[in-house]
Amino acid sequence: MRPSRSLYRYDQLDRLLNPASIAIIGASARPGAFGERVQANLCGYTGRLHLVNARYETLGGLPCHPTLSALPEVPDCAVICVAREAVEPVVEECIAKGVGGAIIFASGYAETGKPERAAQQAWLARRAREAGLPIIGPNCIGAVNFRLRSRITFMPHAEMAPPRPGAIGIVSQSGALGFSLEQAIRRGVPVSHVLTSGNSCDVDMADFVAFLADDPSCSTIALLFEGTSDPARLIAAAERAWAVGKPVVACKLAVGEGGAQAAMSHTGSLAGSQAAYRAAFDRAGVVMVEDFEALMEAASFFAKAERPKARGVAVLASSGGAAIMAADQAEAHGVPLPQPEAAAQAVLAARIPEFGSARNPCDVTAQVINDPESLPACANAMLDDPNFGAVLLPMVFSSPTTPARVPFYNALARRTGKAVIMAWTSEWLEGPGAAEMEADPRVILIRSMNRAFALLAAWHRREAKRGDEAKRGPARRAERLVSAAARQQAATLLDAAGKVLTEREAKAVLALYGLPVVPEALAHSADEAVRIATAQGFPAVLKVESPDLPHKTEAGVIALDLADAGAVRAAYDQVMANAARAAPDARIHGVLVQPMVPQGTEMMIGARMDPLFGPLVVVGLGGILVELLKDSAVGLAPLAEAEALDMLAGLKAQAALEGFRGKPKVDRPALAGLIRRVGEFIADHGESVAEIDINPLISDGTRLIAVDALIVKRVRAGLEGGGASSKDS
């Protein structure tokens, strides 16, 4: 997955986004006009402001110039506040004068769906790149730099205090939602930038993320987006932020998978676009949140929290119910709540009454009201314990005395370098203490116990990723697993096959990549099926082989556990009859005869070529429940061993992998190896393969064996077979 074009460097966007001078082209005295609103919003701007409009001599006490050429200097940023029809000559003038960059508000371009308007936008993109003039927009709401009090937008004026430590840089594809996020400053959250991309004819979200990665006034990047035609640029920008240690927290809108339905296999629906984004972001170190409402909260968490010094979390609650709630969420998110060592345990035992609980999670009870030193003593003891990297305190009740505790929590976090998290469970959402905690540079306020533990888990995953890279280096690709000769043999078999490979053909190809497959032979009569089954040994399995029946279970063309020759003979007639009913025109090659594989844990491994991300591999529980359970993990292929193991660790059904109800434990390293081999296969043959489905892959305690497989080839326009590939559709 390579970006279609390189990211802008920080110095290439410096004049546009850190302007020492701004020109408003289309300045106006008309109330409500974009030019009038932008000038009002720049009333506190620390740089030099110039106005351009031949109809005025002065506006708001500033001289107004007839043209860009008449300005006393070349501006760093040109704010183009003219109608769409007048934009192109203004852009040419900006290019001729050497302006640092331009922001275009005008709408009515590619978003209209009209070819001629899309062509106008394409012209802007072409001229921007030819001339080296960075352009934000068109159809954007603008850009804000709090350090310079530069509010280049027509949105209403907002508080423009200089950013404090821990300030969040907001990048949003949606202008309105971006400025909605900005209003977090009203509750005390510091913001460094608001950068909205609009139609992104030139400068886009990826460029903004890369810019903020290098900007010292931004501590954490909050990214809100719907999608991108070039996710590789966004991932490259996120990797730049990761390299400098700056967290990126992302929320993706438009998460429906209607456009990612599987054409022939289960794989497509399990490896849809949202899963692909998550896999790519995981690899780049991006933290994804599911809800818009959680984005700024999560960004604030990562802006305030230092690197974890331990994985354990201490919970100090004044409510038994809140302690139980914390325990539930910790278990749900895999966050450890270890017990304290002796020194801390002694403090807890001395301070917590007998009707409370001195075990983590601790119920310090409402007795803290009568003993105001109890909670501070317990908190200090727990964070002095090396088992704990964070303390979480449920705020179950807001009162006038709540703000008085904030300085203590700040001092605790400063002294220990550990995270102090207030899980605000009071329904008085903006009650006393909330604003003080939000504004504090160290105290972390989360308005949900669930989100608090989700963020703790993400915090730990980031640290684990750092540790893995420190051990192995940043390279993520492992050595190749398959020889060049095997790759060539597989390519030859694929070329000779039709659009949908039969099970037998698919397994023959995959076997070249080291996939263990069940032995089989093709029968063309009941007598032949009996002879093969007798030679292989009973019990036997029969499957109709047809490229037109990819889902054999649903078609009723599989017969299992056939104990003797009579059962094989009867089953042969039945599956052939079922095939005729399910698809009267289906091409029938014969009936596969296989030995019955012993029962075990059923898994599936799939892969597909994604039009944006390229080769993807997916793993989950197999059999007929694969799509019903929707428990799967997706990775970008090819994969390193650690990535394949992480995919298995990400499945919800861990009990199944560990041997549920007497079934044998799954060999995780061996299964991870097969996941990598399938990933290598799709990476090698993605030009000709659209989808792969290996389901079920049975683990019986001694081996892993592929019982069924499906490969669907990509079909390009003009080639025989019809249909569209995943890339073409």
In a domain, 124, yes or no: yes
In a domain, 228, yes or no: yes
Same-domain status, 582 and 592: yes
**pLDDT class of 263 with cuts at 50, 70, 90:** very low
| Residue 137 CB neighbour total at 10 angstroms | 28
Q: How far apart are CA 197 and CA 193, in angstroms?
A: 13
In a domain, 4, yes or no: no
CATH number at residue 85: 3.40.50.261
Task: Give the pLDDT of residue 476.
Answer: 53
Same-domain status, 39 and 167: yes
In a domain, 684, yes or no: yes
Task: Give the pLDDT of residue 403.
Answer: 95
Task: Give the pLDDT of residue 539.
Answer: 96
Sorted by sequence, the CB contacts under 8 Å of residue 395 that are 6+ apart come out as: 402, 422, 423, 424, 425, 426, 433
Task: Give the pLDDT of residue 472.
Answer: 65
Query: What share of the chain has pLDDT > 90, as a percent?
Result: 76
- In tens, the pLDDT along 470-485 reads 776 654 555 789 999 9
Structure tokens at 458: 């993400």
Same-domain status, 454 and 562: no
Whether residue 266 is predicted with pLDDT greater than 60 in this model: the reply is no
**pLDDT class of 654 with cuts at 50, 70, 90:** confident
- What is the pTM (predicted TM-score) of this model? 0.88
**pLDDT class of 260 with cuts at 50, 70, 90:** very low
Cβ-contact 612, 641 below 8 angstroms: no
Same-domain status, 254 and 231: yes
CATH number at residue 568: 3.30.1490.20
Residue 216 domain boundaries: 10-301
Amino acid at residue number 113: G
In a domain, 190, yes or no: yes
Same-domain status, 529 and 510: no
Same-domain status, 592 and 660: no
Same-domain status, 46 and 59: yes
Same-domain status, 290 and 421: no
- In tens, the pLDDT along 528-555 reads 999 999 999 999 999 999 988 877 888 9
CATH number at residue 704: 3.30.470.20
In a domain, 3, yes or no: no
Domain boundary (243, 274, 301) is at: 301
Domain boundary (279, 301, 323) is at: 301
Same-domain status, 508 and 525: no
In a domain, 530, yes or no: yes
Q: What is the rounded average pLDDT of the residues 78-93?
A: 96
- In tens, the pLDDT along 430-472 reads 999 999 999 999 999 999 999 999 999 999 999 998 887 877 6
Please state the separation of Cα 717 from the chain's center in Å.
32
Domain boundary (250, 272, 301) is at: 301
Range name among 231-240, 679-688, 693-702 with the lowest pLDDT average: 693-702
Same-domain status, 326 and 287: no
Same-domain status, 549 and 695: no
Q: What b-and-e string marks burial along 479-516, b requiring 16 or more CB atoms within 10 Å of the CB?
A: eebbeeebbeebbebbeebebbbbbbbbbbbbebbbbe
In a domain, 1, yes or no: no
Number of structural domains (the chain) is: 4
Same-domain status, 217 and 271: yes
